Chain A
Amino acid sequence: MEQMKVLLKNVGKIRPESAKDYINAGGFEALRKALSMSSDEIIQTLKDSGLRGRGGAGFPTYRKLQFACSTENDTKYVVCNADEGEPGTNKDRILLSGDPCAIFEGMAIVGKAIGAHMGYIYMRGEYVYLREMLYKALENCEKEGCLGKNIMGSGFDFVIKLRMGAGAYVCGEETAMFESIEGKRGEPRYRPPYPGVHGLFGKPTVLNNVETLANIAPIFRNGTEWYRTIGTEGSPGTKLFTVIGNVEKRGVYEFPMGINLKELIYDVCGGIPDGKHLMAVQAGGASGPFINKDQIDIPLEIDYVAASGGRLGCGTILVIDDSNCIVDMVCNNLYFFKEESCGKCTPCREGTTRLYQLARKISDGKGTMKDIDAIKSLGETMNNASFCGLGRSATVPVESAIRNFYPDFERHIDKDFCPVCDREGRMQG
């Protein structure tokens, strides 16, 4: 099956730090168009395109802009979420390292729409090696007059600054990211007030994921009708899928929204290597559900996946073969959340560790049916009462694993042999 390269069009073809290369490939045409448009026209265009956030929740992009646009303030900000902390995800790294100017262009268009003159890219600390190149790319864009003061003679100013994280998954949550950019611990804020009213430095702010921003220039360049022809009715456009784990061909792939998960795994990525078989798939990163091999014949599209109890999220597809154990996977997953909980609210701070302990107890063959009940009820409370999305979604994988792989949990409780969990010298004790 052929990939459809809209976002990856330039990746590997141009020098990423070169604004000139980007311009020669048609770059900044979209911004030029947008500069001659009014706020309402830009937002209307995004609305017509049907673009939805590629970071996780799939929120319509134009609505975020609308909120910030309708709040009166001389200072507003555009923030690009390049924290990409979901385990298994590296699509944003590919975009940042392969075609950063497209992201800048998207940010500038958003800036023009809401009346912001300053943008921040918050990039995770692990990507520190991209920093110098991005500085160069920003500098080159300014030299070409595509960023900075009086962009393309339009009188519109837009400056982008780069900010680094230093290892905190929770900073991918938008208000936690604002806190981090402000020089504080990355702990989330409660809402309302919403970022569109009171965001970064207390100013109206629009925050978008790298991939979402990369979609904006193509929309303005090629028009909303063209964009609508790609993907599905509810989720137009292409999507980057990071397929990792036990597949032949790991990597980042671009396909129209709605591609079938089974086809992606078997046709595109070559299926499961070493003669093993598929056991489970976790879609959407660490907070995505575990589904079993009978549940993978589904279109990867925001609403469909959501309706089936899953989450397309960042488009990460973790393929797990049958040499693994689901209970062990759940332990690994919960270990991640217990290490990454910021500790601000009680349910998440305490609950992530307790969920891990309960799952570990089961994987160790010391669990009882009561422990499964405890996981379920604690999970429900965390899901209902946690402060931010981290605590609310940390329970999804374990709950889905129990639902979709119940016999495996029973097997561990019954102390039947598990080749993975009975192995000596496991980490994370």
Chain B
Amino acid sequence: MINLTIDGTEVSVEEGASILDAARKANVKIPTLCYHPDQTVKAVCRICVVEVEGMPGLQASCSTPASEGMVVKTASPKVIRARKDIMELIMARHPMECLGCQQNGRCELQNVAASLNMSKPSRYPLDIRKATIDNTSPSIVRDMQKCILCGRCEETCSDVQEIMVMAKENRGYYSMMVPPYGKKLVDTPCVNCGQCVQVCPTGAITVKDDTEKVYSFMDQDKVMVASIAPSVRVNLAEALGEEPGTVSTGRMITALRKIGFDRVFDTDFAADLTIMEEGSELLDRIQNGGTLPMFTSCCPAWIKYAETFYPEHLDNLSSCKSPMEMFGPLIKTYFAEKVKIEPSKICSVAIMPCTAKKFECQRDEMNASGYQDIDVVLTVQELARMIQTAGIDFKNLEEGEFDNPFGLGSGAGLIFGATGGVMEAALRTVYEKVTGKEMDPLDFTPVRGFEGIKEASVDLDGTVVKVAVAHGLGNARKILQEIGSGRAQYHFVEIMACPGGCIGGGGNAPRTWAKVEERKRAIYEEEKRLPVRKSHENPWIQQIYKEYLGAPLGEKSHQLLHTHYVNRHDLLGS
């Protein structure tokens, strides 16, 4: 242990800890901008500088290791002056239009400026970077005028997701974080995962806001139908300022009704449906010599990733649509018929943890009902803003209940929200289908948790099925390389683009691993309490097959619930 003094308080920290770590331990607040607890230390914004006795100038507290006997001052006049000067430099480059910014009130830059009491206008003439807003992506909006060059998005895109869309262009005052050659996002291999949105400390990279679309559908007197993804119930309250991992299923339903939704359905139901189809497809592939390994297809960022970077593996992708896109056509066919509403009168809105879903719902393939199956995708962030805008006191809302016939999901459907969840849910059903016995224990822990690549095998009455789970596209790349080279052989592989799975999705409140950990805890605790924990035991699933779909992989299923993929290799450039 290392002992040092910060602002007169003695504190002990582990070897290797930074001054910033030590200050946090001592409950001393140091403002940061480029620092992110999930990322490498960059030390470029310099806002976290402190004074260290015996060292010249000021030191960046994030990159300076604590050492024995160190005496640190974090708020001396010299430090405060430097921080204010640095913030002033940033402000002189930043469009001062905070009132009209999506991040107003949630912006790290704004918060730091406020904490520094920047009460005077900048001494320097405002000089905003010449950059136009890139609105071309259905998921993400980039406004490089607001960029402070912290480098977080680049690290996420290049080192975590390994997509490498962003490059630091030019140098010095003219530096910019952009796709090369002035390309727009839509012309790059961007998979819309939104992890860059998650880490951006300003309004430079934001979720494309589709709330206006929803309001205008409401104006048109559509029957407003919401479907809510599994992970949203453990994320929404956090986005509205409550503790990470707060479960708000019932309050969320009530809020949606208050906003103006006529029906509120549970995407967990559609996840169960996915398991029925995907499980059957897996068994079919194993038993009839189909292409293996089979990859899950729930994650639209992963799908676009495969289509772009690994088109040779498109046959490995399950032909199952994602739960959201299975739900879409059923709402506009089965449900519409059942309640005798013209499908064109329905506006189907999916509430998702995900920015890539906005891209998915606009894919040409997603019109199985004869209409765009899902009209609008709202991320958790957008729903939280709508709730705020409506003046709803979310914290004290009464609990509501989902509507039927899609109001019940099993625990298996719920755990889709965390990495390994689809795999676990599928195995619960497949195991029972093949062996006739319930998997014991039902909690299949080898595929749980945040290890980058998880492997397991299951004995299905003599057939050993090898499975793997990867989350984060960097890990996906690793696993694909292993498979491509023949070093790894699996039957079934689950891949989620976002680190941690959907609970770490790009449309949630800004992430840290600590928060995602809380969300994971919440989702598994919640699933344990559910009466039905296996997809095939969901009574509404049994009913829809009996009434409408027939059997998994049947003709109706093929028409509504399965899809095909597109080779997008061209996006990688000449």
Q: Is there any pair of Cβ atoms, one from A and one from B, under 8 angstroms apart in the complex?
A: yes
Q: Let me know if A384 and B49 touch, CB within 8 A.
A: yes
Neighbouring B residues of A324 by C-beta, 8 Å: none
Cα of A343 to Cα of B168 in the assembled complex, Å: 10
Neighbouring B residues of A377 by C-beta, 8 Å: 81, 85
Q: Let me know if A347 and B170 touch, CB within 8 A.
A: no
B78: interface (CB < 8 Å) = yes
Known contacts A190-B60, A341-B171; A346/B81 CB under 8 A: no
A209: interface (CB < 8 Å) = no
CB distance from B498 to the nearest CB of A (A): 28
Q: Let me know if B57 and A385 touch, CB within 8 A.
A: yes
State how many residues of chain B have any CB contact under 8 Å with chain A: 33
Q: List A356-392 residues whose CB lies under 8 Å from chain B.
A: 357, 370, 374, 377-378, 380-381, 383-387, 392
Known contacts A190-B41, A385-B46; A343/B172 CB under 8 A: yes
Cα of A392 to Cα of B65 in the assembled complex, Å: 21
Q: Let me know if B172 and A346 touch, CB within 8 A.
A: no
Neighbouring A residues of B90 by C-beta, 8 Å: 346, 350
CB distance from A33 to the nearest CB of B (A): 38
A39: interface (CB < 8 Å) = no
CB distance from B149 to the nearest CB of A (A): 7
Q: Let me know if B60 and A352 touch, CB within 8 A.
A: no
CB distance from A189 to the nearest CB of B (A): 9
Q: List B58-86 residues whose CB lies under 8 Å from chain A.
A: 58, 60, 63, 65, 78, 81-82, 85-86
Q: Let me know if B89 and A351 touch, CB within 8 A.
A: yes
Residue of B41, B49, B89, B148 with most partner-chain A CB within 10 A: B89
A345: interface (CB < 8 Å) = yes
Q: List A24-38 residues whose CB lies under 8 Å from chain B.
A: none
B120: interface (CB < 8 Å) = no
Q: List B19-54 residues whose CB lies under 8 Å from chain A.
A: 41, 43-47, 49
Q: Mark A296-340, 1 if CB is under 8 A from B, else 0.
A: 000000000000000000000000000000000000000000111
B388: interface (CB < 8 Å) = no
Main secondary structure of the interface of B (DSSP, over half): loop
Q: Let me know if A346 and B173 touch, CB within 8 A.
A: no
Neighbouring B residues of A185 by C-beta, 8 Å: 168, 171
Neighbouring B residues of A392 by C-beta, 8 Å: 57
Cα of A366 to Cα of B473 in the assembled complex, Å: 54
Neighbouring B residues of A342 by C-beta, 8 Å: 171-172
A353: interface (CB < 8 Å) = yes
Cα of A62 to Cα of B375 in the assembled complex, Å: 71
Neighbouring A residues of B113 by C-beta, 8 Å: none
Interface residue from B58, B86, B173 paired with A343 (Cβ < 8 Å): B173
B512: interface (CB < 8 Å) = no
Q: What 15 new A-B contacts, CB under 8 Å, besides A339-B172, A384-B49, A384-B82? A: A185-B171, A190-B60, A338-B173, A341-B172, A343-B149, A343-B168, A346-B148, A346-B149, A347-B46, A349-B149, A351-B89, A352-B173, A357-B124, A385-B49, A392-B57
> Residues of B at under 8 Å CB distance from A?
41, 43-47, 49, 57-58, 60, 63, 65, 78, 81-82, 85-86, 89-90, 92-93, 123-125, 148-149, 168, 170-175
Pairs A–B under 8 Å by Cβ, sample size 27: A185-B171, A190-B60, A192-B65, A338-B172, A342-B172, A343-B149, A345-B45, A345-B46, A346-B45, A346-B86, A346-B149, A347-B46, A347-B85, A349-B172, A349-B173, A350-B173, A351-B89, A353-B172, A381-B82, A381-B85, A381-B86, A383-B57, A385-B57, A385-B58, A385-B60, A385-B85, A387-B43
